[in-house]
Copies of this chain bind each other. A is one copy, B any other.
Amino acid sequence: MNPTGKVTLLSAGPGDLDLLTLKAAKALACADVVLLDDLVNPEIAALAPQARVIKVGKRGGCRSTPQAFIERLMQRYARKGLHVVRVKGGEALLFGRAGEELAALQRARIPVAIINGVSSAFAAAAGLGVSLTHRDHCQGVIFVTAHLRDHSEPDWRALAATRMTLAIYMGMSRIETLCATLAQALSSDTPAAVVQWAGSANERRVTGTLGTIAAVATEAGLGSPAIILVGDAIGEAITLAAWETEAPLLRSA
C-alpha cells in the first residue's frame, strides 16, 4: 500500500452548498477521487476541480451500486496513493452506513478521517424557525430511521414514552401508519411537520398535527426525501424573515 493514500468520509450537508463546512470545502479542493451518494447535490463536484468524480448512489429500493462495491472502490483508489473523498448527504455519522465503511477501511488498513456536517433534520428545523428542544416542552430530540434493515418498525411507543421531539428520517412511505401509531401514544393534537428537501433550493414544508399531517403532506405532494418532525416543541415554529430566500410554507393545518 502506498502510505500516502487515504479516505475522508465527508458530510455534504442537506443540499445547499453553503451549508458545507470550511473543512469540507478544503478537503474537496485537494481530493483526487470523489465518490458521490445519490442524494448529494451534484454541483458539489465543482468544489473538487482536480478530482475524478464517481456517482455511487444507493437509494432505497432502486437499482444502485452495492455497498461492497463502494467499499472496494474506496480501497482500490486509496491503495494507489490517492486521496479519496467519500461524500455522504447530511451528516456522515447519522444513518447512511458510515459504520460499515469505517470498519471495512480499518480492516484494509486504509487511513481514514471524518468531516462532520449539517444533518437534514436541523435544516428542517431552521426552515420552520423552530428549536428541536425548546425547554418548555422537552429535554431532547430523537433521530430515528423508519427504514429498518429487516423491514420491521421502530418501537414507536417506546420513543413516544420519552416525551422528546422526534425527527423521523425515511418515513414518508409509511407516514400514515406511523402518525396513527404515534397519535395513540401521544395525542392527535401533537404538533407535526414535514419538510422535503430540507436545506436545499427545492425545500417544501407543511405543518399540522399528528392527526392531520399525513393527509396534508400527501395533498401537497410531498414525498421522499423528507423529514417528519413530531412534538410540542415543533408547535413553536415562527415565521422567518422575508429577506432570507426561503421556500414558502405550503400549508398549515
Residues of A at the B interface (CB closer than 8 Å) are 6, 13, 16-23, 25-26, 91-95, 97-100, 102-103, 105-106, 111-119, 122-123, 125-126, 129-136, 139-145, 148-149, 154-155, 158-159, 161-164, 199, 233, 236, 238-244
Contacts and interface: CB of A to CB of B under 8 A. Distances in A.
A31 to B, nearest CB: 15
B23 A16 contact: yes
B164 A144 contact: yes
A95 B135 CA distance: 8
A139 B129 contact: no
Contacts of A242: 111
Number of copies of this protein chain within its complex: 2
Contacts of A106: 129, 238-239
B130 A93 contact: yes
A115 to B, nearest CB: 7
Given A142-B140, A142-B164, A164-B144, A20 B21 contact: yes
A60 to B, nearest CB: 13
Contacts of A25: 22
A107 to B, nearest CB: 9
Nearest to A142: B142
Given A122-B91, A238-B106, A112 B99 contact: no
26 contacts: A6-B243, A18-B26, A19-B22, A21-B21, A22-B25, A93-B122, A93-B125, A99-B134, A99-B135, A99-B136, A111-B243, A112-B129, A112-B240, A113-B244, A114-B240, A115-B126, A133-B143, A139-B148, A139-B154, A140-B142, A140-B154, A142-B164, A143-B143, A155-B162, A155-B163, A158-B161
Contacts of A129: 102, 106, 112, 114
Nearest to A140: B144
Nearest to A147: B139
Contacts of A98: 131
A242 B145 CA distance: 33
A97 to B, nearest CB: 7
A144 B162 CA distance: 10
Contacts of A102: 129-131, 236, 238
Contacts of A123: 116
B26 A22 contact: no
B145 A140 contact: yes
Given A93-B125, A93-B126, A93-B130, A118 B21 contact: yes
